[in-house]
Amino acid sequence: MMRPAAGHAGLEKSRGFTLLELLLAISIFAVVVAVLFSSFSVGIGAWEKGEAGIEFQQRLRAVSELMFREISSTYPYFLTPSQLDKHISYVAFFGEQDSLRFVSYANLHKRASGLCMLEFWVSERSGLLLGEAAALAANKEDFDAVPLRSPDYSLEICPEVQGLQFRYFDQKNDDEPGEWLERWDPAEMQGMMPKIIEVTLTFLDQRGEETTQQLIIPIMSSLQK
């Protein structure tokens, strides 16, 4: 019986991968790479969503703090009507359901006078806007003539704000329950201001969902109803 030559045995032991083995290895490697890539992609997506959520919450908090500071610092700035037969002074505080125009000693531009006419409102295109100008008006006509909503005076605060609503708390005496009003006309309120202002902000988050933030802001001035 013939034994295989030593040279042939060495060749059989040192032969390489077959084509089938090579294709199988490549397929396994491709599956592993695809799984790893998918995991990384999911992780990156979750991280980006988390970062966007944190940034959105920071903007929401910044807007709330800004409105609280400006409104709580409302100053009793008196105006006089131009009609001589109705020469009654009243505070420049004009509150509507979707906007508020007033004078405050807290302002964005740190004016030397410290007193500014301010107006908050929402634009469908630009979100929450704030108009600001130095408080130099002596009567209601001069006050109304300042174009706070023009580009020269207005500043975009937060484009994510899609809705803004105000309510004004009127309490004539401390022993009475008081009531919430949809608007505040200082000419009808005998020169007084509300004690509390309720602000409801509607934000549109990064997922396109609405988030509502409600603020209860007390007026620090002593001229309240």
| Gap between the Cα atoms of 71 and 105, Å rounded | 10
Q: Is the pLDDT of residue 46 over 80?
A: no
User: Distance between CA 142 and CA 136 in Å, rounded?
Assistant: 8
What was the pLDDT predicted at 155? 93
Q: Given a cut of 70, is residue 124 above it in pLDDT?
A: yes
Query: Residues of 144-169 as b/e, b for ≥16 C-beta within 10 angstroms?
Result: eebebeeeebbeebbebbbebbbbbb
- The pLDDT of residue 17 is 63
| Confidence tier at 220 by pLDDT (50, 70, 90) | confident
| pLDDT digits 0-9 by tens, 84-97 | 545 577 889 999 99
Q: Closest Cα partner for 98 from 59, 132, 149?
A: 149
Q: What are phi and psi of 209, to 5 degrees?
A: -100, 150
Higher pLDDT, 124 or 109: 124
Query: What is the rounded average pLDDT of the residues 166-173?
Result: 90
Contacts 24+ apart (CB under 8 A), 214-219: 215/64, 215/67, 215/68, 217/67, 217/68, 217/71, 217/72, 218/72, 219/71, 219/72, 219/74, 219/193, 219/194, 219/195
The Cα–Cα gap between 184 and 83 comes to: 21
Least confident of 47-51, 61-65, 169-173: 47-51
pLDDT at position 5 is 53
**Nearest C-alpha neighbor of 186 from the set 69, 74, 64, 66:** 74
Quick one: pLDDT band at residue 197, thresholds 50, 70, 90?
A: very high
